[in-house]
Structure 1
Amino acid sequence: MGRQMSRDTIRAYFEAFNADDTDAMLDCLHPDVAHHVNEGNIRVGKVKFAEFCAHMSHCYRENLTDMVIFASEDGTRAAAEYTVNGTYLATDEGLPEANGQTYRLPAGSFFSLEGGRITRVVTYYNLSDWIAQVSKAA
C-alpha cells in the first residue's frame, strides 16, 4: 500500500464524516480498529466506533474544513489537520450544558493503515478551548 492509497482512504473517511455517513466511515476501518478518543479511553472494534459515532451525532453536529492530509511514503501512517465547525446539540455528560452553541477549533488526527484500511485513529483537539467557546456562548 502506498502513500496515495492511504491519502485516498483518509479522504474517504473524512468525506463520510462530513456527510454524516457512519456506514461509509466504517467501510474505511479495519475490523479491529483502535480508536483513541481525545481525553478518553481507547475503543477497539467497529462496533465500539459505531456506538461512539451515534453518541457524537446525538450531541454534536460537526463539519470539517481546511483539511490537509499527510501520508508516509510506505502508506502505513497518515495524519490530517483540519478545522472543526460545530454546533453543540445535546448536553454531553460531564460537559457544559448544550443550548445550540457553535464552536470552531483546530484539530488533528493520526492514523495507522494496513491493507487499505485504518487500523488506528487518534484524534486531538484542545478541550479547554472548546469548553471556553461553548461556555461563553451559553
Structure 2
Amino acid sequence: MSEQETLALVKRFLEALNAHDHAAVLALTSEDVAHDPFDAAREIGHEKLRWRLGLATRHFDEELADIAVMVGDGGVRAAAEFTVRGKYLATAQGMPEARGQSYALPGAMVFEVDDGLITRVSMYRNPVQWRAALG
C-alpha cells in the first residue's frame, strides 16, 4: 500500500472506533489481526478483538480527539497520537467503582498494514494516569 492509502485506512479505523462501529473496525483488520491492548497481553484474531471492543464499550464511552496520524515510508507502518476523552460508565473487574468519572489522557496506537488491511494494532496510554483518573 502507498503511504496515502495507509493514511486513509488508519483514519477510517479511528473514525470507526469513535463511532463505536465494531463491524467497520473488524472489516478494516485482517482475520488474524494482532491486537495489543494497553492493559493486557496480545490477543490474536477477530473474535478476540470483537470481545475486547464490546468489553470496552460496556464500561467506557471514549472518543479519540486531536488525532495526528503518521505513516512510515512504504506504508507498512503507521502511528496515531491523540487525546482519549472518556467517561467511566460501569464498574469493570479489578477497577475502581464507576461513578460517571470523566477523563482526558494522552494515547497512541501503532499499526502494521498488509494487503490493504490492518494486521497489528498496539494501543498505548499510561495505565497509572488512567487508573488515577478513575480512582
Identity of aligned pairs, percent?
A: 37
With the length of structure 2 as denominator, give the TM-score of the two structures: 0.98
Which residue is equivalent to 1:68?
68
Q: Deviations over 1:80-105 (max 9, x none)?
A: 00000000011111111111100000
1: CA distance between counterparts of 2:50 and 2:88? 20
Once the two structures are TM-superposed, the CA of residue 132 in structure 1 deviates from its matched residue by 1.2
Which residue is equivalent to 1:6?
6
- Are positions 1:77 and 2:92 aligned together? no
Once the two structures are TM-superposed, the CA of residue 116 in structure 1 deviates from its matched residue by 1.2
Q: Deviations over 1:62-93 (max 9, x none)?
A: 01100000011201000000000000011111
1: CA distance between counterparts of 2:36 and 2:95? 19
- Are positions 1:108 and 2:108 aligned together? yes
**What secondary structure sits across from 2:70 in the alignment?**
strand
Once the two structures are TM-superposed, the CA of residue 128 in structure 1 deviates from its matched residue by 0.7
1: CA distance between counterparts of 2:53 and 2:110? 18
2: CA distance between counterparts of 1:124 and 1:42? 13
Q: Deviations over 1:38-58 (max 9, x none)?
A: 131111001110010000000
**What secondary structure sits across from 1:83 in the alignment?**
strand
1: CA distance between counterparts of 2:66 and 2:82? 5
| RMSD of aligned residue pairs (Cα, Å) | 0.7
Which residue is equivalent to 1:21?
21
Structure 1: state its 5+ residue gaps: none
Which residue is equivalent to 2:34?
34
1: CA distance between counterparts of 2:131 and 2:34? 26
The size of the alignment, in residue pairs, is 135
Structure 2: state its 5+ residue gaps: none
2: CA distance between counterparts of 1:78 and 1:116? 13
One-letter amino acid matched to 1:2: S
Once the two structures are TM-superposed, the CA of residue 130 in structure 1 deviates from its matched residue by 1.1
- Deviating beyond 3 angstroms after TM superposition, the runs of 4 or more aligned structure 1 residues are none
With the length of structure 1 as denominator, give the TM-score of the two structures: 0.96
2: CA distance between counterparts of 1:8 and 1:88? 30
